[in-house]
Chains A and B, each alone.
Chain A
Amino acid sequence: MPTPRPESWLYPTERGLFCAPGQFHIDPHLPVERAVITHGHGDHARSGHGAVLATHETIEIMKVRYGADCAAEFQAANGAQSINGVTVKLVPAGHILGSAQIVLDWQGSRAVVSGDYKRSPDPTCAPFELVPCDLFITEATFGLPVFRHEPAEKEARRLLASLEANPERTHLLGAYNLGKCQRMIALTREAGYDRPIYLHGGLRNLCDLYVRLGVDLGDLRNVMDSEPAELKGALVLCPPSALSDRWSRRLADPLTCYASGWMRVKGRARQHGVELPLVVSDHCDWPELLTTIEETGAAEIWVTHGREDALVHQIGLMGRRGRALALVGFEDEGD
């Protein structure tokens, strides 16, 4: 039996990416009967589905974000399983806690939907596992050759050096509330920072969940419950959107930091009024994207949310078939 062309059994619909023989969607942006979810970020995990298959951690994240009843039925992934004849397996993507690639095997053809992923180490989640395949679906958030992330440990040390050099100034670090925030805390802890770290109210729940799921984040306190004097020279984390709003005015002479892959480009950092940009990302940089595409051995690569045009062009230069997969509902994740 000849192996089927991937686009004959896996394709985008108006609800999201659909596996036809398995009768399920992957990361659908509208409610569906059966969804397989790569990870807990808002543009991948949404509420209102019938049955949800995801990692145990992703399910916990969804419950914290959307409520315990955000899907009719949850199933935590546990090894390979068959859904209507399609073998489905979740393997770590290295993006955030619980993030997984969805490996699909059908009639001798293998597709990997990687969701969001990265190859560099992260103390808060399991590392990316490479799965050879025929079709690899990759993100392209940082799909331009100018994007090369710095080693995250080095950026954490820069943050600590600045804290030491400016003991009068509160360091206000903008970090995405799921993944980046907890990773930055864990990195500073690994680098030996053991003073309390203060949280904006929007970060508390997910930090508590990480701790519950076994990630040590040290002494965390709420900005809300702290005296202004206590915050002088302290490290305060907030969502990026709070960096420039009213909320930060309570801090004395804050030094604004922002941990994101976008910080590689000066214009982007200046746009946010950032004084100390930290180039840390939970997505692949350009070299990691290329290495991964190469290593999967896939002849066909589909590219989702990001700068598809550059990466698709590059895939052509690498002698593979590249295609921009227009999926609605994905946006710049801001990290």
Chain B
Amino acid sequence: MQAFAELLDRLVYTTARNAKLKLLEDYFKQVPDPDRGWALAALTDGLPLRLSIRKTLATILEPHVDPLLYRLSRDYVGDTAETVSLLWPDARANAPPPSISDVVAEVSSASSREFPRVLERLLDRLDVKGRFALLKLLSGALRVGVSARLAKTAIAQAFGRAVEEIEEVWHAVTPPYGDMFAWLEGRGERPDPGRKATFRPVMLAHPIEEGDWQGLAPEDIAAEWKWDGIRVQLSARPGDVRLFSRAGDDISGAFPDIVQAFAHTEGVLDGELLVLRDRAVAPFNDLQQRLNRKGVTGKMLQDYPAHIRLYDILFDAQEDVRELSYLERRARLEAWYERFLPSLADVSALVPFAAFSELEEKWRQARENGIEGLMLKRKDSPYLAGRPKGHWYKWKRAALTLDCVLMYAQRGSGKRSSYYSDYTFGVWKTPDELVPVGKAYSGFTDEELLRLDRWIRTNTVERFGPVRQVAPGLVLEIAFDAVQPSTRHKSGVALRFPRVHRIRWDKPAREAETLAAVQALIPS
């Protein structure tokens, strides 16, 4: 743990990319397994730990720090993990500091009831840098300015490889990556990504902008509907079928129906995960019921039937077809589908058009459930990992907007920690009661942020820690993608992807939207 704590501490203060790489390389070369593997996991996909420290921290800190002193400290420091690491008493235990492996072992075997005690004992064994590193590890986000890609680059450089070689084996290995380090140090075989059903990096689209149209000819472009589900990758090998999110998270556990439906297939496919009822796409909220679950009940499978709408193929059985053009892959996809005919799946239809004007007409009319807009794909593009420019475009239908009233403001984090930059807004339930419908963090310039911050400070009616309640006097025009029913908000509704579209300094708060009007926007 000390080496890792020192590494994090140095990374915090290092801005130059090469200097960061050097620190990381030295660490991976000097620290033995399995600690370096856990460190690598923390820097890339996160440690496989699922316990929230947020509430626990408050509980275990209470006997040590007066609440007002804690608040003043937290305000000054600006980061909860750092504040706790600074406030925790020094040298409370005689035991040696834990290794990262100790931390992983102790935390993953603890019940949520035991967790506070486990965390206390770990903190007691560490100095201030160690405590900071521990809390960052457990909070799941290190925020030391190292991307997963940079960490992999450091691994590659430390052992004289190209970063692509690391990425190719990445999904065949799991933390703490003992087999990968053995291979890198010439002590073992290269982990074989072909043996398991693994994730391959996906190809992403750019939002289309005004200037893009000039470079596009209708005959070079294929159009598909943009479905309102989540992007997934289905990876199937005999005896091993997995469903991945576009970030590579394995979500198979929540979708045993899909896994079952593809059990007889082989290949890697790209598509949209939807809930489909009587062939119609259900609202996104229905799909949400199936997400973020480890397991799923029979009733859920029945009430929220999952479906994959396929639109691309990366591996046709074992053949890598990513180099082929979009049109060739499309033909492969259709043939693949005919060959296996998996249930709970279909192939996303092409949207025929002769001129962009015709396509625009279709785009304008696309207001039915499940359609978010159109995808435009170059017919000659290979399947490229990442977000390459000039190949795929998404043409989302215009966002909806609502005039809402600012209710609460909270201090931001990082660069924005001294400003009130997180906003909770609401709509009128009755002529004098506002109810919150969402929270937004973005959508304004630094200049607007300053003006907002000033407005908030002068219109505060109450303070709760870092949160200020403000008088109902400022209208925010909020853009969003959809309205959903919500149990989290008192209003019973929530906006999907809300962002501040405009600040309506000019508009009186009483002219903002009513709850009834918002409820009417929930798709039935």
Chain A interfacial positions (CB closer than 8 Å to B): 144-146, 148, 264-267, 269-270, 273-277, 307, 309-310, 313-314, 317
Supposing A267-B77, A267-B78 touch, asked if A148 and B13 sit within 8 A by C-beta, the answer is no
Q: How far is the CA of A277 from the CA of B12 in the complex (A)?
A: 11
Q: How far is the CA of A296 from the CA of B15 in the complex (A)?
A: 46
Supposing A144-B76, A148-B86, A265-B86 touch, asked if A270 and B69 sit within 8 A by C-beta, the answer is no
> Which positions 60-80 of chain B face chain A at CB distance < 8 Å?
65-66, 68-69, 72-73, 76-79
Q: Is the interface of B mostly helix, strand, loop or mixed?
A: helix
> Which residues of chain A come closer than 8 Å to B12, judged between CB atoms?
266, 270
> Which residues of chain A come closer than 8 Å to B334, judged between CB atoms?
none
> Which positions 475-507 of chain B face chain A at CB distance < 8 Å?
none
> Which positions 1-56 of chain B face chain A at CB distance < 8 Å?
12-15
Contact A313 B68 (CB under 8 A): yes
Contact A145 B77 (CB under 8 A): no
| Contact string against A for B residues 183-213, beta-carbon threshold 8 Å, 1 for contact and 0 otherwise | 0000000000000000000000000000000
| Contact string against A for B residues 416-443, beta-carbon threshold 8 Å, 1 for contact and 0 otherwise | 0100000000000000000000000000
Q: How far is the CA of A144 from the CA of B69 in the complex (A)?
A: 7
Contact B86 A275 (CB under 8 A): no
Q: Across the interface, name the chain B residue whose C-beta is closest to A311.
A: B69
Contact B90 A146 (CB under 8 A): no
> Which residues of chain A come closer than 8 Å to B327, judged between CB atoms?
none
Contact A144 B73 (CB under 8 A): yes
B316 at the A interface (CB under 8 A): no
| Contact string against A for B residues 71-111, beta-carbon threshold 8 Å, 1 for contact and 0 otherwise | 01100111100110011001000000000000000000000
Contact B13 A314 (CB under 8 A): no
Contact of B73 among A145, A267, A275 (CB under 8 A): A145
Q: How far is the CA of A111 from the CA of B72 in the complex (A)?
A: 29
Contact A148 B90 (CB under 8 A): yes
Q: Across the interface, name the chain B residue whose C-beta is closest to A146.
A: B86
Q: How far is the CA of A270 from the CA of B68 in the complex (A)?
A: 26
Q: How far is the CA of A111 from the CA of B68 in the complex (A)?
A: 29
Supposing A270-B12, A270-B13 touch, asked if A264 and B86 sit within 8 A by C-beta, the answer is yes
> Which residues of chain B come closer than 8 Å to A265, judged between CB atoms?
76-77, 82, 86
Contact A145 B82 (CB under 8 A): no
> Which residues of chain A come closer than 8 Å to B79, judged between CB atoms?
266-267
> Which residues of chain A come closer than 8 Å to B77, judged between CB atoms?
146, 265, 267
Chain B interfacial positions (CB closer than 8 Å to A): 12-15, 65-66, 68-69, 72-73, 76-79, 82-83, 86-87, 90, 128, 417
Known contacts A266-B82, A274-B13; 14 further A-B pairs (Cβ under 8 A) = A145-B73, A145-B86, A145-B87, A146-B73, A146-B76, A146-B83, A146-B87, A267-B77, A269-B13, A270-B12, A276-B13, A310-B68, A310-B73, A313-B66
Q: How far is the CA of A280 from the CA of B12 in the complex (A)?
A: 19
Most buried by A among B68, B76, B78: B76
Q: How far is the CA of A310 from the CA of B69 in the complex (A)?
A: 6
Q: Across the interface, name the chain B residue whose C-beta is closest to A269.
A: B13
Supposing A146-B86, A265-B76, A307-B72 touch, asked if A317 and B14 sit within 8 A by C-beta, the answer is no
Q: Across the interface, name the chain B residue whose C-beta is closest to A266.
A: B12
Contact A144 B72 (CB under 8 A): yes
Q: How far is the CA of A266 from the CA of B77 in the complex (A)?
A: 8
Q: Across the interface, name the chain B residue whose C-beta is closest to A279.
A: B128
Min distance, Cβ A47 to any Cβ of chain B, angstroms: 34
Listed from nearest, the 10 A-B pairs whose CB atoms lie closest are: A146-B86, A146-B73, A310-B72, A275-B13, A145-B69, A144-B73, A267-B78, A266-B12, A265-B77, A313-B68
> Which residues of chain B come closer than 8 Å to A313, judged between CB atoms?
66, 68-69
Would you give 13 A-B contacts (Cβ < 8 Å), ordered by A?
A144-B73, A145-B69, A145-B86, A145-B87, A146-B87, A148-B90, A265-B77, A266-B12, A266-B79, A267-B77, A310-B68, A310-B69, A314-B66
